[in-house]
Structure 1
Amino acid sequence: MALSSSCWKYLVLTFNVLFAMSAVALFGISGFLLYRMFIYRHFIGVNVEYPAILLLMMAIITCSIAWIGWRTAKSMHHIHVVMVYLLSDPTKYKSYAGTLIVLVVVIEFSCFVWAMVEWDNIEIDIKSTMMNYFMETSERKDPNSADSLRWDKLHVKFECCGVSGPSDYTSTGHVPFSCCGQGPLDSLHKPYTADCSTLYQRGCGKQLHEYAKKQLLYVAMAALTASILQVRT
């Protein structure tokens, strides 16, 4: 080989540091986006979260590969350094390790495609999920239940009411105070109390649809960026 074992070692160590940095960044971004969707999982459904979950798993796997490469390169053995080099170079398709890296990149790109497919079909899924959850909450007729409080928080957060608007509550006989804006909560976590002279007229379905589409778009862009950067690395 033209380069000494020591040169190979530091070359591989540098690669693994860069590889690990990209994985840590991906882990943070995907974890944050997953959290932003997870807190509204009762309204948007779990299907929307799957691309972010898969992307988070790829970040963990990438971190593991970088850690193994780092530990191997630190061993100082020439044969190990060569193995790490093969592991670190995704263009070496004939090597098992190179194929592993390519597989990670392909799956990350698949996350991009999956997220865009979900982005395109999310409106129907969210509306159906929200309507089902709204009916379940209404049937319980308990304003202090965990489900009712989730609707209260959703109303206040997005300044909306029900799925399509205040008319959704016609069958229940009353509109929750949270549809008027945030008021003080008592010690028993009863519904929000406020001057209900003006109701939010827009429904939460459209607001949550736009919110979820934005998160999915961020997931798609993160997956695409990660796959491109790791190939170029």
Structure 2
Amino acid sequence: MGLSTNCWKYLVLTFNVLFAMSAVVLFGVSGFLIYRLFVYRHFIGVNAEYPAILLLMMAIITCSIAWIGWRTAKSMHQIHVIITGILIILVVVIEFSCFVWAMVVWDNVEIDIKSTIMHYFEHALQNTDSSSVDTIRWDRLQVKFECCGVSGPSDYTSKGQVPFSCCGQGPLDAVHKPYASDCSMLYQRGCGKPLYDYARQQLLLVAMTALAASILQSTGIFCTFFLAQAIKEKRRASIRNSTSIREAAFANPDDSLLASPTAPAPTLPKY
């Protein structure tokens, strides 16, 4: 039968520990990637965050399934082990779907960014308040990526002046590098291309994380169903052993109890 039932049991228990650890890592990585995309959601669009959000939800569900798998492996109930295996299959399928979804968004993110960033730029350009939220977001974006406008400084022609963030000056933010003291160097590239590269990089990380998680966690499917098969074989062997013992008992009955007791030797009557 290959490995014994106890061997498969301890393999499944070990897998569930690793399963839970992978869920913790997945939770941390997906949460970090959500943050990286969330920071620039006004320019990238919300659709780019959805694969990472789904991956975060799967990390939470994976922790629950790991706990269920641990309990079922210790109880050695075949039907419960099979249900756990089915749950692991669902997790792996959803994570692989998350990989496909992230790759689809990765392929189409350029179109989404072009429409979103242009709409936001036109809205911010019409705002004359330099301390408004939209203006500050644009300043931070231009300082972070060292860019100016969507396609270049010429986007500010209608306004008549270029903001200081196009040369590294803007609202103080500890995340950004120190700002220049003057505006002697004007950024010539637009923010559309660097933001597009940034979004594609984050989405690629989301896709690779989902793919790696689905491949690594799929090993538990085989271990779980092999354990269920081992439990089934052990039960069959136990039934066969009990049946053979009963058949042996009926085939060789103890006739000693059926024999009549030894009669006393006949004695002559006394006269």
TM-score where L is the length of structure 2: 0.72
Match of 2:130?
Answer: 143
Percent identity over paired residues = 74
The offset of 1:24, in angstroms, is 1.0
Match of 2:161?
Answer: 174
For the 8 Å contact 1:177–1:194, the answer to whether it is kept is no
Q: For 2:218, what is the secondary structure of its paired residue?
A: helix
For the 8 Å contact 2:139–2:170, the answer to whether it is kept is no
**1:67 maps to 2:54:** no
Structure 2: gaps (5+ residues): 174-178, 221-271
Q: For 2:26, what is the secondary structure of its paired residue?
A: helix
The offset of 1:67, in angstroms, is 2.3
Match of 1:27?
Answer: 27
Q: Provide closer, same or farther for how the CA distance between residues 30 and 130 of structure 1 changes in structure 2, counting only shifts above 3 A.
A: same
Structure 1: gaps (5+ residues): 87-94, 187-191
Larger Rg: 1 or 2? 2
Match of 2:212?
Answer: 225
The amino acid of 1:106's aligned partner reads: V
Alignment of 1:8-47 (within 5 A): 10-47=10-47
Match of 2:142?
Answer: 155
The amino acid of 1:162's aligned partner reads: G
Q: For 2:150, what is the secondary structure of its paired residue?
A: coil
The offset of 1:169, in angstroms, is 1.1
Q: Provide closer, same or farther for how the CA distance between residues 176 and 167 of structure 1 changes in structure 2, counting only shifts above 3 A.
A: same
Match of 2:120?
Answer: 133
Residues in 2 aligned to 1:154 and 1:105: alpha-carbon distance in whole angstroms? 37
Residues in 1 aligned to 2:206 and 2:171: alpha-carbon distance in whole angstroms? 36
Residues in 2 aligned to 1:161 and 1:77: alpha-carbon distance in whole angstroms? 63
C-alpha RMSD of matched pairs (Å): 2.3
For the 8 Å contact 1:180–1:194, the answer to whether it is kept is no
The offset of 1:58, in angstroms, is 0.8
The amino acid of 2:136's aligned partner reads: L
The offset of 1:98, in angstroms, is 2.1
Match of 2:265?
Answer: none
Q: Provide closer, same or farther for how the CA distance between residues 154 and 64 of structure 1 changes in structure 2, counting only shifts above 3 A.
A: same
The offset of 1:103, in angstroms, is 1.1
Q: Provide closer, same or farther for how the CA distance between residues 226 and 162 of structure 1 changes in structure 2, counting only shifts above 3 A.
A: same
Q: Provide closer, same or farther for how the CA distance between residues 144 and 184 of structure 1 changes in structure 2, counting only shifts above 3 A.
A: closer
Q: How many residues align?
A: 213
Residues in 2 aligned to 1:183 and 1:134: alpha-carbon distance in whole angstroms? 17
Q: Provide closer, same or farther for how the CA distance between residues 65 and 134 of structure 1 changes in structure 2, counting only shifts above 3 A.
A: same
Residues in 2 aligned to 1:131 and 1:148: alpha-carbon distance in whole angstroms? 14
Residues in 1 aligned to 2:109 and 2:172: alpha-carbon distance in whole angstroms? 33
The amino acid of 2:18's aligned partner reads: L
Match of 1:121?
Answer: 108
From 193, 197, 218, the equivalent of 1:206 is 193
